[in-house]
Amino acid sequence: MIPTGVLEADARKQAALDLLVRYVRVVDDPRRIEEWPDLFAAEAEYLVITRENYERGLPIAVIRDDSKDRICDRLVIIKQFWGAGGRAEDHHYNAGWPRHIVGPTWVESGDAGQLLVGAHFMVWSTAAVDGSPRLLVVGEYRDVVDFATGAPKLKKKTVILDTSILQDVFVYPL
Amino acid sequence: MDARRSAQVGPTDRSPDGTLGPAAPPAAPDLLARIRWPQEDNKIPREIFTDPDLFRLEMDAVFTGPVWVLVGHESEIPRPGDYKTFSVGAIPVIVIRSADGRIGVLVNACAHRGTRLVEGPSGNVGRGGFRCIYHMWTYDTEGRLTAVSLPQDFPSDFRKEDYGLARARTETYGGAIFATFHDDAPPLRDYLAELADGLDRVLGDGALRYLGAISVIFRTNWKLYIENIYDGYHVTALHTGFQVVRLRSHGGERLVPNYERHGHLWGRSHSTPVDQLNPVLRDMSLFEVRTKPSTDHNIMVVFPSGVVTDYFDTIQMRYVVPLELDRTMIEFVFFARAEDTEEEVWHRVRQGPAVLGPAGAITLEDAAALERVQLSATARGENVVLKGTPRRFPPYRHVDEAPIRHFYQAYRRLLGFTLPSEDAPR
């Protein structure tokens, strides 16, 4: 017989991994991007930073959405600011299909029932402007997944980019 | 000096302060003749964005010509031995604070067999100096050769003093570091003279705190990136975010000080205060000015490749590095003031990249537009500059694109392209 606690831990681990998969499907699909803020907890942080700045302790980040408000604002920026003259909500200045490739993924226990999820990832983007596939970034996810409300939510997502020279600008979150 | 008159001066004449006269001798006459530059000063032949021979020529005639290239700020390398790597045109360099605290720019190639001495964006050289991995030649922070391995059987006249690292002339202004490889570059203060007031406003006495940098590659020719800064016309058309929040410039001007010589830009504008904007964002601090008495902004281009701005509360320099004909690296570098409170520093950290950075509210569009210009430059023909051009000389309105003409005037002069005809129709 399997003890209840173990079953629960396995279920939470699976839920955290499912959240990562859902995250990737949302950020890779312009039609689902409105679901993105909902993947985060009510108080949450989304940080994209180059390894260079991260390891030197420099505060400048590519994206520092350090509140749920800023995470929600990103959606407004994506849909309205970058909407290529507002012609269409899903038509952007550098329209293209982003494609996350997520490699090895690991889950560890954190504080207060949270789980720490790490993964290697890369993003290819096939640009509409010339049809070329572009390796956008290579890096590492360090997620803190919170279960305070039952469902898994991102308390903090830190995206560390090995590619300290970004190969292109990008629209959708990494 | 009247610009019309100066255009008559012969190509080898020099003005009294040692700056370059109107036109350099053609750097490569056959190549330049191949590119047909119209008589009018508001037309730009698209070949200049697609010609690989011209690109190679520019690396010499512009970036190692009689100009000062912005390569960094002292606060990026605060301690003795701190360095960062950079490129002046095609020349890889090490920008370094020496053991005695002086700023220098060394060529990042061993004097022996040309091996790259340091890699990576930055570091501290430590006590040992730069040691080449190939034959263990070692240099100090001044670029002097201090040791070689196994020097037996070298020619008898070998002297370490003869094998120091090549150096660029280096000067600073407000902490900003400039380098030149050309003997005829005037003293930096003369080169920057008409920008001094603007630079002083942004850089102050140079007491800045380095917050970090983000580099991104734009798929465009370096000139298209630079001319975009001179262009006030695209701002409301392209940057939809400004329309959405109803942020406008209420007056301002685009000066091209020194236009008859160096072609720098100084743009000034006064924008809508944050409390009068359309609050479409929950956190409107992106557009908020907390550290200045007004919403006055400055943006400057130090010809040929440096950008300095104090947009909202973002103190930023950009170093523009041409990589290939159609690839340009832009390094966005962010600063706080040394006297800032922690709250002010944090405000700048949150605002800077969120507005003026690769994932910022108003940068992506520039990349997208410039990539499209680059992609169709093979169509030949000419790009044309219209808005504000009935006015012949600066100052221009902040919404004009006319200052672009002066960037290309300086560019043509450096390369030795035929200068525009004074009588051409506009």
Interface contact B217-A166, CB threshold 8 A: yes
- B92/A65 Cα distance (integer angstroms): 35
Output the pLDDT for position A87.
46
Question: Does A17 or A97 have the greater pLDDT score?
Answer: A17
Mark which residues 50-109 of A lie under 8 Å from B by CB.
50, 52-53, 56, 58-64, 66-67, 69-70, 72-73, 76-77, 80-86, 93-94
Q: Confidence band (pLDDT; 50, 70, 90) for B23?
A: low
Look at residue B166 in the predicted model and tell me its pLDDT: 97
CATH value at residue A88: 3.10.450.50
The residue of chain A nearest to residue B213, with distances taken between CA atoms, is A60
B330 near B366, Cβ under 8 Å? no
Please provide the DSSP assignment of B56-102 as one string: HHHHHHTTTSSS-EEEEEGGGS-STTEEEEEEETTEEEEEEE-TTS-
Residue A115, in any domain of the structure = yes
- Using one digit for the tens of pLDDT, what is the confidence trace for B321-379? 999 999 999 999 999 999 999 999 999 999 999 999 988 888 888 998 999 999 999 99
Predicted local distance difference test score (pLDDT) of residue B248: 86
Band (pLDDT 50/70/90 cuts) for residue B16 is very low
* Domain boundaries of chain B, sorted by first residue: 208-415
B423 pLDDT band (50/70/90 cuts)?
low
Q: Is the confidence at residue A107, as pLDDT, over 60?
A: yes
Asked whether the beta carbons of residue B215 and residue A168 sit closer than 8 angstroms, the reply is no
Which of A58, A94, A129 has the CB atom closest to B375's CB atom?
A129
B384 touches chain A (CB under 8 A): no
Whether the ipTM is more than 0.90: the answer is: yes
Residue A130: its chain B contacts at CB < 8 A? 375
CB contact under 8 A, A58 and B211: yes
Residue A87: domain span: 4-161
Residues of A in contact with B357 (CB under 8 A): 62
pLDDT given at position B420: 83
Query: d(Cα B79, Cα B93) in Å, to the nearest integer?
Result: 18
Closest CA to B349 of A24, A112, A98, A47: A47
Report yes or no on whether pTM surpasses 0.90: yes
Q: Inform me whether the pLDDT recorded for B9 exceeds 50.
A: no
Mean pLDDT of chain B: 90
Q: Per-residue pLDDT tens for B136-184?
A: 999 999 999 999 999 999 999 999 999 999 999 999 999 999 999 999 9
Give me the residue from A67, A93, A168 closest to B365, CB to CB.
Answer: A93
Structural domains counted in chain A: 1
The verdict on residue A92 lying in a domain is yes
Which of A169, A170, A171, A174 should we substitute to test contact with B (largest number of B Cβ atoms within 10 Å)?
A169
Task: Report the pLDDT averaged over residues A9-18.
Answer: 94
Q: Quick: pLDDT tens for B256-276.
A: 766 667 889 999 999 999 999
pLDDT score for B258: 65
Domain for residue A170, yes or no? no
Q: What is the structure's pLDDT at A4?
A: 63
Q: Please state, as a whole number, how many other Cβ atoms lie within 10 Å of the Cβ of residue B132.
A: 22
Q: Smallest CA–CA separation between B145 and chain A, in Å?
A: 30
In this prediction, residue B239 has a pLDDT band, given cuts at 50, 70 and 90, of confident
Model confidence pLDDT, tens digit, residues A52-86: 999 999 999 999 999 999 999 999 998 888 875 45
Distance CA B83, CA A4 (A): 57
Would the CB atoms of B354 and A64 count as touching at under 8 Å?
yes
Q: Is A43 an 8 Å CB contact of chain B?
A: no
- Using alpha carbons only, give the angle B120, B124, B127 rounded to the nearest 5 degrees: 130
> Domain for residue A173, yes or no?
no
- Which one of B283, B367, B375 has the shortest CB-CB distance to A94? B367
The predicted-structure confidence for B60-87, as pLDDT tens digits, reads as follows 999 999 999 999 999 999 999 999 999 9
- B359/A86 touch (CB, cutoff 8 Å), yes or no: no
Q: What's residue B30's pLDDT?
A: 84
Residue A111 lies in a domain: yes
Closest residue by Cα to residue B309 from B397, B198, B189: B198
The verdict on domain B208-415 having CATH code 1.20.120.1810 is no
User: Is B373's Cβ below 8 Å from some Cβ in A?
Assistant: no
Residue B401 has pLDDT above 90, yes or no: yes
With residue A141 as reference, give the H or E element that holds it: strand A133-146
